[in-house]
Amino acid sequence: MTRPEPPVAPLLPAGPLAGIRVLEVGHMLAGPYATMMLADLGAEVTKIEPPGGDISRQVSASYFASLNRGKRSVVMELATPEGQRRLGELVAQSHALLVNLKPSGIHRLGLTYQALRKHNEKIVCVALTGYGLEAGDDPAFDYVIQAATGIAALTGDPDAAPTLPGYSSADNSTGLTAAIGLLAMIVSGRGGQVDVSLRDVMLSQLNYRASAYLNDGVEPRRYPNGAHSYYVPAQLFSTGDGYLALFITHDGFWRSFCAEAGVTGWPTMAERAAHRDDVLATVSAVLAGDTALGWEARLRPLGIPAAAVRTLPEALADTPEVVVSAGDYRLVRSSIRVVGARPAYGAPPSLGEHSLAAEVQSS
């Protein structure tokens, strides 16, 4: 008996969010990243910029492109009566507004649901701030938040200074969270205010660390080579050439590793945790006998989580399929892939490129 073929999903050339109109008043990274994810999924995103433009335009053209592909740009001075009039017209035609400013600026410019519901009862307003919409204007850049929430204290060698990840983890994570909140409210069919802060997002992402402290009194600590707090061996190891990330959790992984590497002992997860130093010394000595790429090639076919440490250029060279064209720019594609949909990665807009069209549409 032959198994019937699964139904083929209909092609969605414009993306699943086609027809959803989102306004963005944002700058730099967190807010623009959130709305770019929505634009990649087919939403029409209109970026409302001040006459000087989003400050990220001053960083570099490629930086701006990495966060604003496929959007429209209109220039509006929101602090003026004319700017407020035009904002109201756009809100009346839109599903959501995402704002990435200080709380005082959000309130002063009337970018909340309470201020804008008169134009559209179903508008979803998302405030993306450092500490919360009602928490004040304390500076809240990515690195500051990583320091304030314990991320920096958990990162790096225990005998060295705290350090930071090599990318904007707080901004990117908060952007994704804001996009989820925005879509959840649109699905609900109700208008309202969504409040997302960098601080709350990063504390939330410390989930099991926070739970261990709050429930078991276990204070987080740093281990050498980025080692996991419980799983052993799960960290970076120096090899005969390069570094290898090895992440052995359950006992099946350990048995497979032992058979390949010629290691014996500590058959259970609890035993390996209790004899951390001995396990790490043994594994380190064994891994020194081959290169990082060699171990990766040997362990991956066995289903063991392992990867050689690569530079970003090396990682991109290994995965050319993730690089897409957006106008004149080569960028990394969306991390959300919808079967049957073909994302249209549009060029980043020039400042005010769509201002005239917006005026005509609202007239």
Is residue 153 one of the residues assigned to a domain? yes
One-letter identity of residue 67? L
pLDDT digits 0-9 by tens, 330-343: 999 999 999 888 88
The whole-chain average pLDDT of the chain stands at: 93
Is residue 50 one of the residues assigned to a domain? yes
Number of domains in the chain: 2
pLDDT digits 0-9 by tens, 253-284: 999 999 999 999 999 999 999 999 999 999 99
Taking a C-beta distance cutoff of 8 angstroms, is the pair 145, 173 a contact? no
Among 308, 332, 349, residue at a domain's last position: 308
Stated pTM of the model: 0.90
Which residues on neighbouring strands pair with residue 125, listed in sequence order?
97, 193
pLDDT digits 0-9 by tens, 105-141: 999 999 999 999 999 999 999 999 999 999 989 989 9
Helices 30-40 and 61-68, packing angle to 10 deg? 50
CATH number of the domain residue 120 falls in: 3.40.50.10540
Q: What would the mean pLDDT of 142-160 be, rounded to a whole number?
A: 94
Q: What span, in angstroms and rounded, lies between the C-alpha atoms of 53 and 71?
A: 14
Q: Are residues 107 and 249 in the same domain?
A: no
Question: What is the percent of the chain where pLDDT is above 70?
Answer: 94
Q: What would the mean pLDDT of 47-62 be, rounded to a whole number?
A: 95
Q: What span, in angstroms and rounded, lies between the C-alpha atoms of 232 and 270?
A: 9
Is residue 76 one of the residues assigned to a domain? yes
Q: How confident is the model at residue 357 (pLDDT cuts 50, 70, 90)?
A: low
Question: What is the percent of the chain where pLDDT is above 90?
Answer: 90
Give yes or no for a cis peptide into 233 (omega within 30° of 0). yes
Is residue 286 one of the residues assigned to a domain? yes
Q: Are residues 188 and 249 in the same domain?
A: no
Q: Which domain holds residue 303?
A: 243-308
